Structure 1
Amino acid sequence: MSGHFELYQDKAGKHRFRLKAGNGEIIAVGEAYNSKASAEKGIASVKANAAEAPVKDMETGDK
């Protein structure tokens, strides 16, 4: 099974998403959103931007 996003409502009533790897491990978590639509936009942003995003190694000062 490939990775997938899970969209859910937390205990405070905020909408969140998490990205799970194929083995079920959580590999990314989104912030708390006031609306489901905003959380869905967050997922879309990750999908659109993450594939080409460079890695900035903050431990070595690579900015």
Structure 2
Amino acid sequence: MAHRFEVYKDKAGEFRVRFKYNSEVIFSTEGYSDKSGAKRAIESIRKHVGDAEVVDVD
């Protein structure tokens, strides 16, 4: 698969989500104290990304 979400535990013991495209990390989230928080973040991203505004900040 060319793109995917990964839930992982960072060095501080928090759960984070990173989104990868062709093995390159595109973004990662803040840390969550439990895995369910990270999974809720994925669902929120999936739900709202289609409506995201594009802003040119030049």
**Same fold, TM exceeding 0.5?**
yes
Is there any run of 5+ residues in structure 2 with no aligned partner, and where?
Answer: none
Larger RCO, structure (CA 8 Å, separation 6 or more): 2
Superposition deviation, residue 52 in structure 1: 2.1
Q: How high is the TM-score relative to the length of structure 2?
A: 0.89
What RMSD over aligned residues (CA atoms) do the two structures have, in Å?
1.0
Q: How many residues are aligned here?
A: 58
Secondary structure at the counterpart of residue 50 of structure 1: helix
Once the two structures are superposed, residues 18-40 of structure 1 have per-residue CA deviations (whole angstroms, 9 ceiling, x without a partner) of: 0000x111111111011110110
What TM-score, normalized by structure 1, do the two folds share? 0.83
Larger CA Rg, structure 1 vs 2? 1
Aligned position for 2:40: 41
More helix by share: 2
Partner in structure 2 of residue 4 of structure 1: 4
The superposition leaves residues 2-52 of structure 1 with CA deviations (integer Å, 9 ceiling, x where unpaired) of 20000000011000010000x111111111011110110011111111122
Percent identity between the two aligned chains: 40
